[in-house]
Amino acid sequence: MKVLVLNGPNLGRLGRRQPEIYGHTTHGDLADLCRNWGEQLGLEVEVRQTNHEGELLDWLNAAADTETPVVLNAAAWTHYSYAIFDACAQLTTTLVEVHISDPSQRPEVFRHSSVVTPHATKVIAGQGIDGYRQALEFIAAEDDD
């Protein structure tokens, strides 16, 4: 089964951007880890990152059309993008929302809400990079049911 791991703005800067919050793993390292975890779980994992909201919307729309499960870290768009909200609403298969940090524990109040959560099958937050592994395991388990 194919799974898309979609990452939003600034996540391409992992390892350099606020490592005290997001850690030292680069986005390239994360992509390699996700593909390896997926292979171990029998999943074909494709990892993408964009700083362009329309591109993420196109990927979510295509996932809806092909009924492809999605692991989504919409990053800052999580907190305000109604376009992301609408795109997630179209998904008919598993959507796992992932955040490296726990937005609900962050000092910025705007981070405490998510437009993705109402459509997510599961939310994994505050588990660091390992949250992506947990998301893939969840999808693999859902497929076994």
* Sequence ranges of the domains in the chain: 2-144
* Band of residue 112 on the pLDDT scale cut at 50, 70, 90: low
Instruction: Give binding residues for substrate as ranges.
Output: 73, 79, 86, 100-101, 111
Instruction: Give binding residues as ranges.
Output: 73, 79, 86, 100-101, 111
Superfamily of domain 2-144: Dehydroquinase, class II (3.40.50.9100)
* Helix locations, the chain, DSSP H: 19-22, 27-41, 53-66, 82-89, 130-144
- Positions annotated as catalytic residues are 22, 99
Among candidates 30, 34, 57, 27, which has minimal Cα distance to 140? 34
* Band of residue 15 on the pLDDT scale cut at 50, 70, 90: confident
Q: Tell me what the mean pLDDT of segment 77-105 comes to.
A: 92
Residue 116 has pLDDT above 90, yes or no: yes
The CA distance from 73 to 5, in Å, is 8
pLDDT tens readout for residues 25-52: 899 999 999 999 999 999 999 999 999 9
Work out the number of other CB atoms within 10 angstroms of the CB of residue 89.
13
The CA distance from 36 to 75, in Å, is 23
Residue 105 has pLDDT above 70, yes or no: no
Q: Output b/e per residue, 42-51; b: 16+ Cβ within 10 A.
A: ebebbbebbe
Residue 72 has pLDDT above 70, yes or no: yes
pTM here is 0.92
